[in-house]
Amino acid sequence: MTSYSKSSLTAIILAGGISSRMGQDKALLNIKGIPLLQRTYTVASDCASVVYVVTPWIEKYTSILPPSCQMIQENTPTQGPLVAFSIALTQVKTEWILLLACDLPLLTSDVVQQWANFLPSVSDDAIAYLSKQDNLWQPLCGFYRYSCLASLQNFIKLNGRSFQGWLSQSNVQHLIVSDPDVLLNCNTPEDFNFITKQLENKS
């Protein structure tokens, strides 16, 4: 199997959610002393040559991210993550993009690199390489081809705002995930407590 090259991959991290179910900004939640967004950035930077963080609150996150992180101002946070992704995608110069939510505390660089090694074998007509749970694509932890931009922009012009709606119209290759826990998001205090215990058990 041909392994991927780090220089062939750009990472985009979406950090525009209002964290209403958590009750506080989950991007800044500390797990083992490290904010969630910083943990996700570390994974992304281990796997990709360039990392963008898309957020309405650039000043709030600058202090926890290195100067090499490229920040993109999200001016339409109420439009949702699909629009934020489309804005960031226009900056990309690589064939493949790793798209991540800001809150994936159980995701590791080793796992992402293992997934990325399959990118050279993804079908030429597939716009994305994503996992599934409960028969739904997991859009905020996976890979997209830059060539998806045209269809994404057309979908948004027609007032589409759902990743599932867009992906259902597209050719997506299934990424098999052996440990579904790596996809866990930290959306609620209960999630945070569960994930903290999971990490304690693994240490």
Is residue 179 one of the residues assigned to a domain? yes
Is residue 33 one of the residues assigned to a domain? yes
Residue 69 above 90 pLDDT?
yes
Over range 69-98, report the average pLDDT.
Answer: 94
pTM tops 0.75? yes
pLDDT, tens digit, for every residue of 130-154? 999 999 999 999 999 999 999 999 9
Residue 203's pLDDT is what? Answer: 59
Residue 192's pLDDT is what? Answer: 86
Residue 173 above 80 pLDDT?
yes
Is residue 124 one of the residues assigned to a domain? yes
Is residue 1 one of the residues assigned to a domain? no
pLDDT, tens digit, for every residue of 6-62? 999 999 999 987 767 787 889 999 988 899 999 999 999 999 999 999 999 999 999
Distance separating alpha carbons of residues 14 and 27, to the nearest angstrom: 10
What's the domain range around 24?
6-202
The enclosing domain of 56 has a CATH number of 3.90.550.10
Is residue 45 one of the residues assigned to a domain? yes
Number of structural domains the chain divides into = 1
Is residue 83 one of the residues assigned to a domain? yes
